[in-house]
C-alpha cells in the first residue's frame, strides 16, 4: 500500500522536469556569460543560413507567382483572341458558302437519284473553283486549318 507521505509518479516527474529546466537555464546563463563569442558564433551559424534560405525561398515563391500570373494573363488573352478569330472565321465561312450557293446553286445532279439536288461532280468542280478564287483566310482558332483556306 501507498502511504500518504510517498510522492506520486506525477509529482516525481513534475519535480524532475522543473529541476532539469532550472538547471539547464542556469547552465545556459553561465555559459553565455563566460563565453559570449561562442554564443554569437552559434547564433550566427544558425540564423544567417536560415535568413538566407528564407530570402531565397521567398524570392522564388514571388517569381513563381508572377510567372503564373503572367502565363494566366497570356492564356486568357490568347483564348479571347481565338474566340474572336473563330467568330470572324465563321463569318468568312458563311460568306464563302453564300458565294458558293449563289454561283453553283443552279448546278444539279440528277444522275444518281432522279431528283434534282445540289451536289455531284459538276457542283464539286464549281465549288472548288469558288473556294480557289475566294479562299477563307486562316485564323488562329485553336484547330488545324481546313481544306480550301489560305494564309494571309
Q: Kindly report the CA angle at 28 between 27 and 32, in degrees rounded to 5? A: 120
- Total domains, the chain: 1
Average pLDDT over residues 3-11: 81
- Residue 133 covered by a domain: yes
- Residue 10 covered by a domain: no
pTM of the shown model: 0.46
- Residue 66 covered by a domain: yes
- Position 92 scores a pLDDT of 87
Q: Is the pLDDT of residue 61 over 90?
A: yes
- Give the list of residues 6+ apart from residue 39 with CB closer than 8 angstroms, or none: 31, 32
Q: Kindly report the CA angle at 140 between 69 and 150, in degrees rounded to 5? A: 160
Domain holding 50, by residue range, is 36-150
Q: Can you spell out the DSSP letters for 63-119?
A: HHHHHHHHHHHHHHHHHHHHHHHHHHHHHHHHHHHHHHHHHHTT-B--TTTSS--B-
- Residue 107 covered by a domain: yes
- Residue 28 covered by a domain: no
Q: Is the pLDDT of residue 42 over 70?
A: yes
Q: Is the pLDDT of residue 152 over 50?
A: no
- Residue 9 covered by a domain: no
- Residue 71 covered by a domain: yes
- Residue 84 covered by a domain: yes
Q: Is the dihedral of CA 136, 142, 146, 151 positive or negative?
A: positive
Could you tell me the CA-to-CA distances from 52 to 6, 46, 59, 81 in Å, in that order? 54, 10, 10, 43
Comparing 85 with 139, the larger pLDDT belongs to 85
- Position 36 scores a pLDDT of 86
Amino acid at each position: 500500500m501507498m502511504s500518504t507521505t510517498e510522492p506520486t509518479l506525477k509529482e516525481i516527474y513534475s519535480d524532475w522536469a522543473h529541476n532539469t529546466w532550472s538547471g539547464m537555464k542556469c547552465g545556459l546563463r553561465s555559459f553565455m556569460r563566460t563565453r559570449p563569442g561562442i554564443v554569437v558564433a552559434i547564433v550566427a551559424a544558425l540564423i544567417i543560413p536560415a535568413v538566407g534560405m528564407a530570402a531565397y525561398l521567398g524570392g522564388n515563391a514571388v517569381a513563381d507567382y508572377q510567372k503564373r500570373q503572367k502565363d494566366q494573363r497570356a492564356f486568357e488573352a490568347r483564348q479571347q483572341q481565338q474566340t474572336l478569330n473563330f467568330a470572324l472565321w465563321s463569318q468568312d465561312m458563311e460568306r464563302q458558302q453564300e458565294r458558293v450557293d449563289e454561283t453553283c446553286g443552279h448546278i444539279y445532279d440528277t444522275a444518281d437519284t432522279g431528283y434534282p439536288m445540289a451536289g455531284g461532280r459538276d457542283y464539286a468542280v464549281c465549288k472548288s473553283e469558288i473556294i480557289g478564287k475566294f479562299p477563307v483566310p486562316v485564323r488562329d482558332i485553336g484547330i488545324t486549318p481546313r481544306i480550301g483556306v489560305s494564309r494571309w
